[in-house]
Amino acid sequence: MKKLLAEFIGTFALVFAGTGAIVINDVGGGSVTHVGIALTFGLIVMAMIYAVGDISGAHLNPAVTSAFWLAGRFAGSQVLPYAAAQFLGAITASATLHFLFPAHANLGATLPVGTADRSFVLELILTLILMFVILNVSTGAKEKGITAGIAVGAIIGLEAMFAGPICGASMNPARSLAPALVSGHSEQLWIYLTAPVIGAGLAVLACRGCQEAGCCPSPAKN
C-alpha cells in the first residue's frame, strides 16, 4: 500500500504541476510560456524521483510500469495495481484543476496538431527514447539516485520542449486520460493510450540489443 500511495501522490504531482502549467499559461495570457511548461514537466518528474524513488520506483506512468515488467524487472502481479494508482492520481489532479479553473476548456489535455498518424509516430518515438533512458539509469524497477533524477527529468523536459507543440509529448497514458475524462475532450485519445505503451515496449528490445545479457530478461512471473 505504501508503494501504491507513493505512485498515487507522484502521479498526482506530475499531472497537477504539468497540466496545471498549461492551464495557468492559458489563463495568464502566456505567462508561463512553452519552455516553462516543458521545464515544469521535467522538474516535477525529477523531484518525484527523489521523493518516492526509493519507495515505489517513481514510475508515475503505466507505460513505464508495463515496460519494467516486459524487461523482467517488475512483478506482473503489481502491474495493474500500479496502473490503477497512477490513473487515480492523475484523475484526482485533473479534477482538482477543474475545481480551481472550471472555465478552462480542456485542462491541458493532449490534442494532436495536424494528422493523427504523425502524432502517433512522434509519441511512440518519444516514449521509446524516454524508456531507453530510464532502463539504462534505473536500478531494477527503481528510478532513484542523482543520475536517474537528472537524466529522466532532462529527457522529459527536452522532448516536451521540441515535440510538445505538435503531439503534446505526453508519453504517459495516465497524464493524457485524466484531463480528457474530466474535461470531456477525448478526441484522438487512442494515440496517447497506445503509442506510449508500444514505444516503451520497443525500448526494452533496444535495451536488450545494446546491453549485456541479463539486462532485460523475460517478464517477471511473480
In a domain, 219, yes or no: no
In a domain, 216, yes or no: no
Local confidence band at 103 (pLDDT 50, 70, 90 cut-offs): very high
In a domain, 215, yes or no: no
The model's pLDDT over 76-101, given as tens digits with 9 standing for 90+, comes to 999 999 999 999 999 999 999 999 99
Q: What is the CATH number of the domain that holds 91?
A: 1.20.1080.10
Structural domain that includes position 115: 2-210
Longest Cα separation, the chain:
53
CA distances to 40, 67, 158 from 161, rounded to whole Å, are 10, 24, 5
How many domains does one find in the chain?
1
The overall average pLDDT reported for the chain is 93
The pTM of this model reads: 0.92
